[in-house]
Amino acid sequence: MGYLDELNESQRVAVEHIYGPSMVIAGAGSGKTRVLTYRIAHMVEQGIDPHNIMALTFTNKAAKEMSERIGKIVGGSEAKSITMGTFHSVFSRILRYNADRIGFPNNFTIYDTQDSKSLIKDIIKEFSLDDKTYKPSGVFGRISTAKNNLISPEAYINNTDIQAEDRMSRRPELGRIYAQYANRCQRAGAMDFDDLLYFTNVLLSTQPEVLHYYQQKFKYILVDEYQDTNYAQYLIVKKLAAAYENLCVVGDDAQSIYSFRGANIENILNFRKDYPDFSLFKLEQNYRSTQNIVDAANSVIKRNQDQIQKSVWTHNGKGNPISIVRTLTDNEEGRVIANKIYDLKQSKVPDYNAFAILYRTNKQSRSFEEALRKLNIPYKIYGGLSFYQRKEIKDVLAYFRLTANPNDEEALKRVINYPKRGIGKTSIENIIISAGSHGVSMWDVIQNLQQYPADITNSTKQKLYEFVTMIRSFQAEMLKVDAYTLAEHITRSTGILRELVEEKEKGPEEVERLQNVEELLAGIQEFVKSSEEEELKTLPDFLLDVSLLTDADQEKTEDRNHVSLMTIHSSKGLEYPHVYIVGMEENLFPSQLSMSSKSDLEEERRLFYVALTRAMETCTLSYTGSRFVWNQSIRCEPSRFLDEIDASFVHHETPMRSQQGRSLMGGMDRSFTGGLNVSLKQPSLPRSLKSLSNLPNSPSQGSDFQDIKVGTNVEHSRFGKGKVTHLDGNGADKKAVIFFPHHGAKTVLLKFANLVVLPD
């Protein structure tokens, strides 16, 4: 058992403890995977039948790597006998053997997301419901949430709170759709991805002999990344482990960052309640980062109240302090970070793959992509497409390209029926046939259907005429107005912007699509404003600029030596010698959506902790004074997280000065309520950098929010004018539901809402 000699004392104790419930709290960079792997190998070495071991992971890659490592210690055949894989893969195999017990064939089909949405679309049509109100994606998301919380269609329909929520959202038929969807899936012998967990719970709850069989089979259960489990996963594990309680969960509550997809931090925090006699092991030695980075991360996460106390430490060298950089704009932020990477690469870093740029949302990548391209620095986007390769961006750019060159057939095919205008696939195919037979472009055909006839209906001909007229109107303005003016006009006139605004209620992905288009327009505005020439910067000028950047990018698609760009969520589990965490601004990071609840804010802080602990040697934090949002420059305030890092672990690089001559860090007064919603034209409010817990309980505008009542007319800096429809809570925790005509109902925490009371 020489492999045990590779472990430190804490790791070895956790590995050698086999029996009973146990929890391994593994701090960042503490060797969690090694402990989990060696623990399983040690169990086999101690004579435990590998058929009695089940290990659950969140990725197939993790399961494969663990199996290979175990195989090297105990032998490949033994390793293959262990049931190891993701929750969905393991439980789908259980269902294959037992599905007939719960009304499904054992060879059931697994629907992917598109299959599910297509079925939901058919049901909405069958029920004669408005598909703009009952959008298939939104309905699918609602059903998915219900299943992950083990809510059946019957329970959904009979739950008065759920029904009230659906009526508030003007979708009272969601329960009926859910019930019909479940019936149609069962009739088709199909399960969707969520069903693999939902029906495993149904199976184990309703078939005691099946539960008994698997309790006896899986006498030893191990769960990786336990902090990321949802309610359905938690309950399955609890049921299977009930007979022997040889359950080992491994995770880190400080890295619980996936609540948006159903993860429940309470699962790990309440483990001791489920298993009072459990054994707790803490892996606190960090092998990844410098002492300075570890200490800085500790100084931040200690502010969270809901956590399992631990003290991560390292024997690594002290290292450099964390650098904090302020730039004037988001575009300057991109240039500064790109230059830092360039300089460090030239001086002492052999490869670009030592660098990573981490951001809160994918839309932030644009300024960094452009800056890296201009310095000829190779990069790769992880966890998302390159900004200019994202569907919504390509759709908008296709309209721009078609305006500049109507003979661009790829652009035409992309947008001729987007947003949907009733020009069907068959009609498009007939237009292509006509163009081919006459040797002309598709544009020639659709603008002169009499000369180049195509087999299409009169109704479609009218829609094509309207489309041609719209594109011609864009062309008439192309050389008369600047690129931004025309670009904004196109996104509005085509209906793209309206569709994205309507879709944003579906979920975070749809919100991000809208944000990406906003970011594109902001980039075009910056392109126009940054011109040192007096001549008009037109849309063709911008397209040329973009095409050159894209060409440079394409030349390096196979180059593995690149800077990594990704969201912080995507970075979890990874490490890089040099990390740049960008966009450290209030309402961006922490997200504006996290401001109304302590639990949400604590998750944002955990996300920051994850970002910091990706760094091995150096870490740089950057924020901007302003960002372009639509047609105005928006003031940005430094993130509260910057102030939460102990001052002894940071270095401020040549702090910029405000117009009053005060430092914008280390004592500049700021408002936490301003953030991305405060224009540069508005005065900043005096408030020192301090933690949220020390904020006064008065609104930033100075009015007494305790006087706000139901029916009060107010104005919000982002959402505009609205009326208070409901109040909840008392004192500093008082919340209001406000209806805004253009944004719908929003729930705000009054002490941070920055509301202005309007006269009746």
Task: Name the active-site residue from 142, 340, 614, 751.
Answer: 614
User: Active site includes 614?
Assistant: yes
Q: Which sign does the torsion angle of CA 363, 364, 369, 370 carry?
A: positive
Report H helices in 555-638.
568-571, 598-612
Name the pairing type of β-strands 615-629 and 632-635. antiparallel
Element housing 661 (H / E): none
CA distances from 434 to 197, 427, 437, 457, 547 (A): 51, 11, 5, 14, 30
What is the distance between the alpha carbons of residues 17 and 654, in angstroms, rounded to a whole number?
52
| Helix (DSSP H) and strand (DSSP E) numbers for the chain | 30, 22
User: Active site includes 200?
Assistant: no
Task: Please answer whether residues 438 and 407 qualify as being in contact, where contact means their C-beta atoms are separated by less than 8 angstroms.
Answer: no
CA atoms within 13 A on the CB side of 128: 0
Which of the 8 DSSP states describes residue 25?
A: E
User: Active site includes 494?
Assistant: no
Task: Name the active-site residue from 225, 253, 295, 330.
Answer: 225
Nearest to 705 by CA among 661, 669, 752, 662: 752
What is the distance between the alpha carbons of residues 404 and 388, in angstroms, rounded to a whole number?
18
Tokens of 324: 């904090």
Task: Name the active-site residue from 57, 86, 200, 255.
Answer: 255
Task: Name the active-site residue from 195, 224, 519, 602.
Answer: 224
CA terminus-to-terminus distance, the chain: 79
Q: Scanning the structure block, which residue is given the tokens 């790791």?
A: 11
Q: What is the DSSP string of 694-718?
A: G--SS-TTS--GGG--TT-EEEETT
Task: Name the active-site residue from 33, 475, 592, 632.
Answer: 33
Which of the 8 DSSP states describes residue 321?
A: P
What is the distance between the alpha carbons of residues 18 and 222, in angstroms, rounded to a whole number?
11
414 Cβ contact partners less than 8 Å away, ≥ 6 residues apart: 394, 395, 398
What is the distance between the alpha carbons of residues 447 and 494, in angstroms, rounded to a whole number?
18
What is the distance between the alpha carbons of residues 377 and 371, in angstroms, rounded to a whole number?
9
User: Active site includes 637?
Assistant: no
User: Active site includes 33?
Assistant: yes
What is the distance between the alpha carbons of residues 648 and 296, in angstroms, rounded to a whole number?
9
User: Active site includes 255?
Assistant: yes
What is the distance between the alpha carbons of residues 118 and 479, in angstroms, rounded to a whole number?
43
Name the pairing type of β-strands 713-716 and 379-381. unpaired
744 Cβ contact partners less than 8 Å away, ≥ 6 residues apart: none
Which of the 8 DSSP states describes residue 629?
A: E
Tokens of 605: 């802080």
405 Cα distance to chain centroid: 36
Tokens of 593: 């959506």
Q: Which residues are catalytic?
A: 32-33, 224-225, 255, 614
